[in-house]
Structure 1
Amino acid sequence: MESQKRGPYKHEYHVDVRYLKQVRLLRGLTLKEMGKQMNIADSVLCRLEKGNLRYTTIYQKRFKDACGRLKVSNTEAIHMGKSIELRGIREGGNQ
């Protein structure tokens, strides 16, 4: 019920850099298109997704704003989180 109080696009997923690629792929966007949504260069987005650039609060805010424009709901964010978690478990088991 907590997520309903926050509204459909107010989930805190934007603070986790792992959601960047998930959102981009779920919306069928290229790096260039997602970069435009976030108002950053596609090369910067690529470095963020790969972990080669620090995910600062500025990028978090831009991602959050882009998710609002892309209408990423809490339900989608919860499912992305579960997918990320399962991938981490699966990759951790393969090491």
Structure 2
Amino acid sequence: MESTRKGPYNHDYEIDVRYLKQVRLLRDLTLKEMGNQMGIADSVLCRLEKGRLKYTPVYHKRFKLACGRLKISNTEARHMAKTIELRDIREGRNSDNGI
């Protein structure tokens, strides 16, 4: 059951697959280290980042929990969202696609 508690690390909006690499680089983590945070193999994380593996609700939940452990604040997540949105605009992609 998802918590309805608000706080600096409780992301109350949708974090999609495009955040994976952003969070990993923001915290200066290797694929192996981020995989450990999410409880998945680094090869699985690599495939998720490259879009070669479907980003299922299981991976979403693990990523959201890892964001909490890594103390990714709502402010940081909003800044990442803006960065992703601007990059999508610059590259001519639709930002609503969620990959």
Q: Please report the TM-score for the alignment, with normalisation by the length of structure 1.
A: 0.88
The alpha carbon displacement at 1:13 in A equals: 4.3
Q: In structure 1, how many angstroms separate the alpha carbons of the residues matched to 2:87 and 2:55?
A: 21
The residue aligned with 2:32 is: 32
Q: In structure 2, how many angstroms separate the alpha carbons of the residues matched to 1:9 and 1:56?
A: 22
Map 1:1-95 onto structure 2 (within 5 A): 6-11=6-11, 12-14=13-15, 16-92=16-92
How many residues are matched? 88
The alpha carbon displacement at 1:10 in A equals: 1.3
Q: In structure 1, how many angstroms separate the alpha carbons of the residues matched to 2:88 and 2:64?
A: 23
Q: In structure 2, how many angstroms separate the alpha carbons of the residues matched to 1:22 and 1:78?
A: 12
Identity %: 76
Per residue, is there more helix in 1 or in 2?
Answer: 1
Give the unaligned 5+ runs of structure 1: none
Query: Conserved in 2, the CA contact under 8 Å of 1:13 and 1:19?
Result: no
Q: Please report the TM-score for the alignment, with normalisation by the length of structure 2.
A: 0.85
The alignment yields a C-alpha RMSD, in angstroms, of 1.4
Give the unaligned 5+ runs of structure 2: 94-99
The residue aligned with 2:96 is: none
Q: In structure 2, how many angstroms separate the alpha carbons of the residues matched to 1:13 and 1:44?
A: 21
The residue aligned with 2:97 is: none
